[in-house]
Structure formats: structure tokens, C-alpha cells
């Protein structure tokens, strides 16, 4: 076993020699935000009609049924509320 006199000086660490760790930064608090969002989506609709013009008129007036929801083509945040 080595005596204390023969040990390397690096082996003797005091509290004063210990490297200081940086203080941990507190994590920012998460908040809830509300938004007014305008979403434009391409959808597939169908309607029964005798002519194309009649089908257009029915669809424009809100007639018909949605076959499937399509892809989002536009997404815009209008207002963000804290």
C-alpha cells in the first residue's frame, strides 16, 4: 500500500478545488394559448341531379352529402389569445 506522501497531488481534492457546476436553469412554465384558426380543406361531395348546372346549384346552396374529408390546403392563424 502506498503512503500518503507518495500519492500524486491530483489524488487530493478538497471541496474548494472541486469544479463548480452551473446552476440548473428552471424550465419555463407552459401556458395555454387559444387561437382563431381558418382552415381550408378540399372535400369530396356528391349530389343527385339531372344536369351539371343543377348539381352546382344544389352544392352551392348546401345540398348534397360529403363523401370524404380531403387534405388541408390552407391553415392560417388569425388571432392568438393568451
How many domains, in total, are found in the chain?
1
Q: Is residue 5 part of a domain?
A: no
Q: Do the domain assignments include residue 36?
A: yes
Question: Could you tell me the residue range of the domain that residue 52 belongs to?
Answer: 30-82
Looking at residues 60-82, what average pLDDT do you find? 88
**Whole-number pLDDT of residue 70:** 86
Any domain includes 45: yes
- Residue 19 is assigned to a structural domain of this protein: no
Q: Which residues pair with 36 in a beta bridge?
A: 79
How far is it, in rounded angstroms, from Cα 55 to Cα 64? 9
pLDDT at 21: 78
Confidence band, pLDDT 50/70/90 cuts, at residue 3: low
Q: Which residues contact 49 (CB under 8 A, 6 or more apart)?
A: 55, 58
pLDDT in the model for residue 13: 56
Give a yes or no: residue 22 inside a domain: no
Who wins on pLDDT, 23 or 38? 38
User: What pLDDT score does 24 carry?
Assistant: 84
37-65: pLDDT as tens digits: 999 999 999 999 999 999 999 999 999 99
Give SS3 for 26. Answer: coil
Amino acid at each position: 500500500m502506498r503512503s500518503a506522501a507518495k500519492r500524486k497531488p491530483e489524488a487530493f481534492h478538497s471541496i474548494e478545488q472541486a469544479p463548480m457546476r452551473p446552476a440548473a436553469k428552471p424550465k419555463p412554465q407552459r401556458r395555454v394559448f387559444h387561437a382563431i384558426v381558418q382552415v381550408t380543406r378540399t372535400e369530396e361531395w356528391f349530389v343527385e341531379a339531372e344536369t351539371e348546372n343543377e348539381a352546382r346549384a344544389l352544392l352551392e346552396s348546401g345540398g348534397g352529402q360529403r363523401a370524404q374529408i380531403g387534405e388541408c390546403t390552407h391553415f392560417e392563424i388569425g388571432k392568438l389569445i393568451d
